[in-house]
Amino acid sequence: MSPYKNVVLVGASGSVGQTIVNGLLASATEFNITLLVRADSSSRIAQEGHAAIRVVRGDLSDDAFLKRALTDQEALVVALNSTPDTFKLQDRLVDAAAAVGVKRIIPSDFGSDVTNPKILEAVPLYQGKVDAARYLEEVVAKNPATTWTAVINGPFYDWGMERDLFGFNPKTRTATLYDNGTGKFDSTNITSLGHVVGSILTAPENFTNRYVYVSEFAISQNEIFEALLRATKTHAKDWTIAHRTTEELKKEGLEKIEKWDFSGALDLIFAAVFKAGLGSDYSTTQRIDNAAVGLKQGDILDTTTVILEGK
């Protein structure tokens, strides 16, 4: 099967969308990339003007516009935030893509293993992803010319470390370890995501109608801390270390969300990431597709050192 070179991407101005665009541009496969953007969006797309990129602006609530934009395209990649409105938009995009014969849809997943009931119970907000995935599967079942691939990559290591989301702040030398920092989880750099998507579209026959699991690191907080100590040439005694439980973090997240503070979503996600036994270490139970997409295992010390140098 030939690569799917004609690609439409929605969400190019976000962190995930940006790295996917960069990965497609860097691929040996010469992709023709259409970026679908709301007509009233003021977001800047860094790659606009590149010869391989076409930006199409319009009303994303207009089904006729979506069908025109997707006609003669081979793949649709959705890279949107996880909100009720964006899931509705994804459903609309899926309908339009299937109607005009788009061959492959990659939905806005790119995170935890939402196929795991324990993860879903721990982070109820993931239900929106699950419902959107089910809808996609239903549409594809009725339109066999269209297929899907979803990507599970765990929390983004580089992106999360740059934002001190894993419980560590190297500048203040403070660390918060949850459940003593022993829970293992799989993680991938956000900068690797574009390569993963490009590989799927280059050899689409290998990834038809299934989840693709990738992981550069199978780590714990303790292992991240050890990498930080080595990278900063410090010792644990040089840091202020707090110990908390994942149950406390989850409780805080739920309380925030009840007050319409949706930063609590990150608390729920990382409570699930750090808690042993939920399955955030999906590499122990799922087939990992690193070899199939050409993704190498990462070196936690090297990656952490590079991140610190860039902060």
Percentage of the chain exceeding pLDDT 70:
100
Q: How many whole angstroms separate alpha carbon 102 and alpha carbon 212?
A: 20
Which of these CATH numbers, 3.90.1200.10, 2.20.28.90, 3.40.50.720, 3.40.50.150, describes 6-154+188-213? Answer: 3.40.50.720
Q: How many whole angstroms separate alpha carbon 201 and alpha carbon 6?
A: 10
- The pTM for the full model equals 0.95
- Whether residue 311 has pLDDT greater than 80: no
Strands of the sheet with 147-152, listed across from one edge: 53-58, 32-38, 6-10, 75-78, 104-106, 147-152, 210-213
| CA 205 vs CA 104, 106, 148, 158: distances in Å | 10, 14, 11, 30
Residue whose tokens read 């996917």: 20
| Domain extents in the chain | 6-154+188-213, 157-187+217-280+296-310
Instruction: Give the mean model confidence (pLDDT) for residues 223-241.
Output: 98
- Whether residue 74 has pLDDT greater than 80: yes
Contact by Cβ (8 Å): 311, 162: yes
Contact by Cβ (8 Å): 67, 99: yes
pLDDT of residue 254: 94
175-215 pLDDT tens trace: 999 999 999 999 999 999 999 999 999 999 999 999 999 99
Q: How many whole angstroms separate alpha carbon 226 and alpha carbon 157?
A: 15
Of the candidates 74, 144, 67, the one whose C-alpha atom is nearest the C-alpha of residue 106 is: 74
154-185 pLDDT tens trace: 999 999 999 999 999 999 999 999 999 999 99
pLDDT of residue 8: 98
- Whether residue 33 has pLDDT greater than 90: yes
DSSP state of 126: G
pLDDT of residue 42: 80
Contact by Cβ (8 Å): 233, 201: no
What is the amino acid identity at position 120? L
